[in-house]
């Protein structure tokens, strides 16, 4: 009687099991770190949106015979487009009103920014606007005379 042995490998080696567990661990660490608070992402998003809105108001002032600007004196969770120091009759780009409501958890503080007609200058002093969320903050500084918004 002849005994036959199975020469086909069956199962995984210890190295293969450890490699798979390491890959699963790395992927889960990345997923868990990204699943945290979204306030940081909202803060960055709203900062870039506000920069665009400030540039829009400056462009409108440079194209018009009256001043344009943005008013931050209302609620801390919104701001309003101004034309000649009153609420503008037109909307922000990609918004359905001249008032932009910030995403949840983000607040804004700062003085009213007014850009002069023709030149788009915010005045002879730098103006700072700060957005905050969950203990983090981003500050936008509008440069005096030139109106440069970094």
CATH number of residue 46's parent domain: 3.55.40.10
| Residue 117 belongs to a domain | yes
Quick check: is 114 in a domain?
yes
Q: What is the rounded average pLDDT of the residues 75-83?
A: 90
- Report, as an integer, the average pLDDT of 73-95: 90
Alpha-carbon Rg for the chain, nearest whole angstrom, is 27
Q: Is 138 domain-assigned?
A: yes
Q: Report pLDDT for 62.
A: 93
How large is the average pLDDT for residues 40-46?
86
In a domain, 63, yes or no: yes
Which pLDDT band, with edges at 50, 70 and 90, does 77 fall under? confident
Task: State the average pLDDT for the chain.
Answer: 88
Q: CA dihedral defined by 20, 24, 30, 33, rounded to 10 degrees?
A: -150
Q: Is 29 part of any domain?
A: no
Does residue 58 belong to any structural domain of this protein? yes
- Considering the domain boundaries, does residue 20 fall inside one? no
> Is 136 within 8 Å of 43 (Cβ atoms)?
yes
Is the pLDDT assigned to residue 76 strictly greater than 90?
Answer: no
Q: What is the mean pLDDT of residues 84-98?
A: 91
Quickly state the pLDDT bin for 73 (edges 50, 70, 90): confident
Query: What integer pLDDT is reported at residue 138 of this predicted model?
Result: 92
In a domain, 52, yes or no: yes
Q: Which domain holds residue 99?
A: 39-142
pLDDT digit string, tens, across residues 21-30: 999 999 988 8
Phi, psi of 139 (to 5 degrees): -115, 130
In total, how many domains does the chain have?
A: 1
Q: CA–CA separation, 150 vs 143, rounded Å?
A: 9
């Amino acid at each position: 009687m002849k005994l036959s042995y199975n020469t086909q490998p069956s199962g995984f080696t210890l190295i293969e099991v450890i490699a798979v567990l390491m890959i699963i661990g790395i992927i889960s660490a990345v997923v868990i770190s990204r699943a945290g608070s979204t306030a940081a992402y909202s803060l960055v998003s709203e900062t870039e949106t506000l920069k665009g809105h400030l540039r829009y108001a400056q462009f409108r002032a440079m194209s018009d015979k009256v001043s344009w600007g943005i008013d931050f004196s209302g609620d801390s969770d919104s701001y309003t487009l101004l034309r000649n120091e009153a609420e503008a009759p037109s909307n922000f780009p990609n918004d359905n009103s001249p008032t932009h409501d910030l995403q949840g958890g983000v607040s804004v503080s700062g003085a009213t920014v007014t850009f002069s007609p023709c030149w788009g200058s915010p005045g002879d002093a730098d103006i700072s606007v700060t957005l905050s969320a969950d203990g983090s903050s981003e500050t936008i500084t509008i440069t005096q005379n030139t109106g440069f918004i970094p």
